[in-house]
A and B are shown apart, each in its own frame.
Chain A
Amino acid sequence: MSEINHSSQRYQNKPFAIKVRTGEDITKATNDAICGEVYLETGIAPSLYIGNKTSSEAETSIHRIADLTQKVGDVNLAHIGNVGDPSTSTSGKLYTETDPTLVTDKGFVFSFWFYDNGEPAAPGGQIFKSNHQNNYILQSTSASGSTGSLRFASWATLTEYDPDKVSVSGTSYTVKYQTKRLNNITHVTEESADGRGAQVSSYLNGELIGHAQTRFFIYPADILLGVGNASNISIGDVGFWKDDDTSGFIRSIERQVPAIYNNGQMSDWMQLAQAPWHYWKFGEFVGQDVPDEGTASTNHMILTGQAKQRTYSLDGADGTNYTFSGDAAGTDPTLNAVVTDTLTFTNNTGGHPLAISKTVNSKDMIFSGNPGSGITTDYIIKGGDITVSAWLKPQASTNSADTDTFHIFSDYTSGGNEGRLAFGGKLGKGWYATVNGPTQKQIWSYGSESTGTETIPIANMLDGNWHNLIVTVNGTIAKFFLDGSLAWEVDTVHGIAAGTLPVKIGKSWGDMYLFNGEINSISIWETNQDVGDNILDNIYRQGIPNDFAGTTYPDASFGVTKELDVINFIDPVLNAYDKSGVNIKYSTINQGDNEQILIEESSGTLVFNPNYGEHNYFCKAHPTTMRGVINVLPLMSSQKITGIVRT
């Protein structure tokens, strides 16, 4: 270890020192320790030590003062699982805590952080609950999966609210939030001004989102955490403050609530007027470890996983069957075959994303716009969040049918509610999409109806180049991206329900809305992919697979350059694609002030560890698909990684 300061004297011919040393290995200080010396062990598991005896050849006495594990700014998450039947099982329970004096009749404040990975959640998971009359303060709400919302129940009717973030139903309201990021909820209750009830103010990420006025008093009660039902969400840093006097404490806290969020980093509780009465700080890797019940060894730090791939087959009407499949590691399925007949698309195994890559006469899918063209898949929309990406090259035609609306991706059928998601366009007009069927909510029509936004004429897409369309549905929010840029965004109100009919490509059911042009690489994620700064942008910049003629890649001048901010789990996965279609030529990951890591001519699977700490980087390249993927995954929330990748 290195000495960084020193002050010593001798007493009765023995040395004493006030000295601080730093280094990553405390054992290197054992041979020459001086009584009174302080040692700061740095590195991935920092600790503070002191020597209470001067070393001799026979003996050393260095004692640990404290493990330095509670880092300022950390938000440590623990996971409430999503296992078992929530009506009968408690296997998703994280932790139960009661304190009979936690909630007082004067009110209280609680604040917590949570991370929803967007995966399906069991309905009715009770994250926080008062044991007085079973008032559910927070619970998961969706019967079909996580919808990015938390319900604040039994708080009576809102007197005012932000319609963009809060929906009201009876005596509860639901707050919408963004999945796959850390969010903070702070809830402030206080006795109402007239003394006849209670009122609550709720903040999402530091922003006031609603007031509720109750008809009943706040009764002294326990607060139960993660009780009974599963909820499939990660929570952390739960702090409670109670108003045990009337000295203006609550109002003082309320004024400071936005500071708790502090632009995405947790401020320290002590900046408030009073320390929390109750505080649960969950740590999966540091501090108190609170594992899921029954899975004590499992850490549930949320990382964005690699989606599994489906296996597909193309059944030609001439009897020829073509199969193509990906693998669990994320390799895209590919098919290189010359087929000349009408094809039916089927998938064999579950998982996502669904990727269709199909060649016809060594080219992409060509649709004539005439009756009979188009493809029938067996993919049925699952319901809930979804992302669909498609590359297409529309063509103008003298065929009178082309003046009608055409569908690129559609489970629409006429005369009913069967259609859940359909998008396409209309020549001379613009782009078109519906979510959840025309009778429930037609969110766009040629880019103008309902939304009032500008029309983007489809003629702009008739320039002979390939163009990318991405539709995302996140809860009730649907977005439409053209060539990587957001074109429209609208609240569908209903979200997207499970479909009943398979999706058609290049037309709708009933052989209607026929598309004239070329389509390639339709990808479906059964999750919302609009979760980071550049996720969708990356999808666009991946370009269409280069296994067919006429590929037009994005300009290489921007390549794939990205800075990761994985401390907030926004972009733990980075995809880099090579313009030349060979391999990743040069990639650099700059991990803070650590040394750079170079990857050159990657091929196959490459696992490497940097020479710093125990960070685990995973890099792999897929030369067969001419695509490279780099995943940079943090092991701990305290790790911060910045990365630059160029292809």
Chain B
Amino acid sequence: MPNHFLSVEGASVSFGKRQAQVHALRNVSQSFERGTLSLVMGPSGSGKTTLLSLLGCLLSPDEGTVFIEGVAVNGLSEAERTTVRQEKISFVFQAFRLFHSLSAIDNVALGFELRDAHMPGRMEMAKNLLVRFGLGDKLNQEPNELSPGEKQRVAIARALAGNPPILLADEPTASLDAQAGRNICQILRRQVDDDGRTVVVVTHDPRWQEFADRTITLCDGRVEPMEKNQ
């Protein structure tokens, strides 16, 4: 019986038409178990980000099914998919994607607001998250006043606002130096070990291997048969 906590079954995605058509994913089936950290690796153009977009309810497959917490999300309306993202999924991006005009604490508080507009004590919870990530002295700094490592920690804090069970990260250490990158790896690993979250990381960075439970390698839109289990 397949695990439908977070999975794709027979998913194919293509972009463009006729001669310009690119097959980003071809009949991919993969399950991601609850409370694990999975890496998705592969060369550029292999379909890693497309797979992440499917898992994040940002894209629907041309064929196949995407399951999130056991629910097939393909047929959902845009508003329903938004609700799924609100309640269950969070993202960490390579380019951080913090809101440039908001301070660190406001960025994180906005993460809480997006999940529940009426949630009381957002600022206090945002502060606690930032303090937990060693940013207690940067609460009121704007993104352009933070180092790349600090920005990524703020972005992770924002992603964790509202306690989503699934965290999807796209090249989260690509813009960081070795120390900052390792720090981010540790933080995401703790999300699995301490909070039981399911984390999927798309990366080229081999440093991640020691923190992952499993690695999926994609090539030309297909899963490579060799899967490395940590």
**A and B co-occur in one complex:** no
B interface residues, Cβ below 8 angstroms from A: none
A interface residues, Cβ below 8 angstroms from B: none
